[in-house]
Amino acid sequence: MSSKIDRRRFLFWFAGVLASTIWSSKSWAGDRSLFLKDYAAKNDLLYGAATLHSFLRRDKDFARRFVEECAILVPENDFKWYKLRPTPQSFDFTKADWLVNFAEVHDLKLRGHTLVWYQALPDWFAAEVNATNAAEHLTNHINTLVGRYAGKIHSWDVVNEAIEPKDGRDDGLRITPWLKYLGEEYIELAFRTAAAADPQALLTYNDYDLAYDTPEHEARRTATLNLLERLKAKDVPVGALGMQAHLDAGKARFNAKKLQRFMQNVADLGLKILVTELDVVDRSLEAPSIFRDRAVANIYREYLEIVLTQPAVIAVITWGLSDRYTWLKKFRPRDDGAYVRPLPLDRDLQPKLAWKTLAHALRYF
């Protein structure tokens, strides 16, 4: 019995290895004439990825592949408060400027991420910011940063992750320093300030855990929609919803109808939708990469087949491009120590099944 299973497992594994060898062979890669951004463009979509200034600057192969595959770049960390604000009075734009220039030179659109978040704040924040000066800190940060790059940013994540139903408020808002000091109005203030500083940029509300058919995700969908409705009712200049989509190949599945209804409700408010931080955790999957790659690619396909039916979607952005550089290496490491494989390209910058799935979904859905 067990030897039969072993034999079947081996054959399955062998077929997989064969397929992956053929798939990732140089000849295939050499024949490739279209990249993810090209498939997306055929369907009026933008494809892009998040990355760091340091990866692009010191890894020339990665930078070349980034420019080949992507039409839009998201600074994964370099536009956050803790990277930009050495002191309460000052800004250090060295890395942000480098990225803006890189995007310009390589004809990439650029997303700003992120203006108002409760995480990634500088060390001085807690001691410095209080109810009296919070509004001034918020508007000064937004005016300076958004104003500096006005006209060069495709879209700004103005407010990030402002919802947390588990915090127990009726409106589902997350209890953050901004909420504590300024009340719900901090959200409106942030959007209005950003719109005045750069009237051209698409202003986005960005959040996570919106995809699955679970009570937690349903609660966040409801609270998010309610927030967007309140903002629109007050003519707050919010232009889009960012759905992060950090998915997990080992977790709950989608309910196409519920997700599509949510997205339709968002679209009915006159908002665009961006998939802003797509990746797929492979932590709970068995070790051989061929199994993992197939499961991860399936999640990409399932998710995109649902969300890309919504015409309000304008962009699909993965949180990283290659498994060489992914936050999940540190934040969701595998117990067996194997490299995590959540992204379209492998560590050698070669396309995986997830790449093929993305290309197909971007083109045809």
- Which residues carry out catalysis? 161, 277
**Cβ-based neighbours of 38, under 8 Å, separated by 6 or more:** none
Strand bridging mode 202-207 / 313-318? unpaired
Residue number, 39 or 48, with CB nearest to ligand 9MR? 48
Q: Provide, rounded to whole angstroms, the least separation between the CB of residue 63 and ligand 9MR.
A: 18
Determine whether 233 is exposed, middle or buried from the number of CB atoms within 10 Å of its CB (0-12, 13-18, 19+): exposed
Cα–Cα distance measured from residue 278 to residue 308, given in angstroms and rounded to the nearest whole number: 13
Our CB check for ligand 9MR shows the closer of 75 and 165 to be: 75
Q: Which tokens hold the place of 169?
A: 């408020």
Query: What is the C-alpha separation between 102 and 165, in angstroms, rounded?
Result: 39
* One of 37, 65, 80, 341 touching ligand 9MR (CB under 6 A): 80
Minimum distance from CB of 82 to ligand 9MR (Å)?
7
- Told to check if 327 binds ligand 9MR by CB under 6 A, we report yes
Sole window of 2-10, 35-43, 73-81, 163-171 interacting with ligand 9MR (rule: CB under 6 A): 73-81
Amino acid type, 154: H
Stretch that binds ligand 9MR, among 35-43, 72-80, 138-146, 176-184 (CB under 6 A): 72-80
Give the range of 62-70, 76-84, 102-110, 302-310 binding ligand 9MR by CB under 6 A. 76-84
Q: Tokens for 41? A: 């463009």
Instruction: Give the residue at shortest CB distance from ligand 9MR.
Output: 327
User: Within 42-124, where are the H helices?
Assistant: 53-58, 60-69, 81-84, 94-105
Nearest approach in angstroms of CB 105 to ligand 9MR is 24
Q: Which of residues 87, 101, 119, 200 is near ligand 9MR by CB under 6 A? A: 119
Residue selected from 48, 53, 76, 280 as contacting ligand 9MR according to rule CB under 6 A: 76
**Is 244 a residue that touches ligand 9MR (CB under 6 A)?**
yes
- Structure token digits, residue 27: 């000849």
SS3 252: coil
Which residue carries 């992750």 as its tokens? Answer: 161
Host H or E run for residue 359: helix 353-364
CB atoms within 10 A of CB 122: 17
Is residue 277 within the footprint of ligand 9MR (CB under 6 A)? yes
- 176 versus 244: smaller Cβ distance to ligand 9MR: 244
Verify binding: residue 77, ligand 9MR, rule CB under 6 A.
yes
The binding site for ligand 9MR (CB under 6 A) comprises 76-77, 80, 119-120, 160, 208, 244, 277, 327
